[in-house]
Amino acid sequence: MYNSQDENVDLERDYLPSCHSSRFRQLKNPEEAVLEHFVQLITNQTSELCSNANIKVLPNLRYGGQVDRQLVDIYYSDVAKSKNKATPLFVFIHGGYWQMLDKSSSGSMVAPLVERGYRVAIMDYNLCPQVTLSQLLEQFSNFLEWIFDYAASTHTSHISFAGHSAGAHLLAQLLNAPDVLRSPQRACVPIRSLFYISGVYDLRELWPLTSVNPKNILSLNAELAAKLSPILWEYVEPSPEPTFGIHVLVAGHDSVSFIEQSRSFARLLAAKGFKIKFHIFEQYDHFDIIEESAIEGTPISEYIKEALQ
Ligand SMILES: N[C@@H](CC(=O)c1ccccc1NC=O)C(=O)O
């Protein structure tokens, strides 16, 4: 479907981002090394936030459930808060094929944004197999309603979202949720930008793969995989003309399947009337596109900074 360049493509590899990096090639197991390095680095980037005097955190706001992972950490700067003026909100949704990572390793984007006066919401979500992917998508819809309520009730000038990999898949729901897009809260909190970073948007090839969905922990079948694929959704014609920009971004070292899924998703949204920018960051792989978002002046940080202007 997406890797038409190679009819013999091994989809088990093409949908495994750690197999598509030029880094750590000198090591015996570069795939393991790139993933270990990613998790270690993004965990450090997140834990170091609290040692930054300018960054405060409001931890564990609950958006659903009772004792599960439906929690959000809100990072902010005391300076901006003390001026008691409306501040922008940026929301990040982590990846990990709906089965790994959490908010303690998802704070890479926080520091550059808080330095510029943003509040940044880093959300957790229940992982498969504790929930099925269908249940996770329902819980994510609840999160969207909650975050717009939160934004509307906390003096928010505008809101932006970024989703990485499977997090981009979850974020696609925002474009398919008329009740959220047309809610009174949404009306008083304009969306500024949406960033879909190295996402997956068609589950039809990946749901049977052991590398992605071992023992079918996502609880999918062919019919459900199609139903949960943003590339096949209708999308409500945005009216009036949406004011927000959608950025479909992908790493140049991502696999052909990942790059072509992003290209197809961008083309679909553009055809539906959304304001789209599609960009391939040639120098990045699936992981350092997020790792470098923590560093001012890097290509991904500069892109996000300019897009948010
Ligand atoms: N086991 C996968 C991990 C993976 O796909 C992944 C890891 C961190 C963040 C995003 C990922 N991919 C999709 O959500 C791999 O080895 O590439």
Mutating to test ligand 1, I would choose from 101, 165, 250 the residue with most ligand atoms within 8 A of its C-beta, which is: 165
Class of the CATH domain delimited by 11-307: alpha beta
| Per-residue pLDDT, 5 | 79
| Per-residue pLDDT, 304 | 98
75 HSE (CA, 13 A, CB side): 32
| Per-residue pLDDT, 80 | 63
pLDDT digits (tens, 9 = 90+) for 142-178: 999 999 999 999 999 999 999 999 999 999 999 988 7
Residues in the chain where the model's pLDDT stays below 70? 80-83, 237-240
Predicted TM-score (pTM) of this structure? 0.97
Known catalytic membership, residue 286: yes
| Per-residue pLDDT, 8 | 87
Rounded CA-CA distance 282/42 in Å is 21
Rounded CA-CA distance 220/107 in Å is 30
Q: Residue 260's closest CA among 231, 225, 218, 289?
A: 231
pLDDT digits (tens, 9 = 90+) for 116-140: 999 999 999 999 999 999 999 999 9
In the chain, domain spans? 11-307
Query: Does the interface ipTM go beyond 0.95?
Result: yes
Q: Which is catalytic among the residues 73, 286, 288, 293?
A: 286
| Per-residue pLDDT, 85 | 84
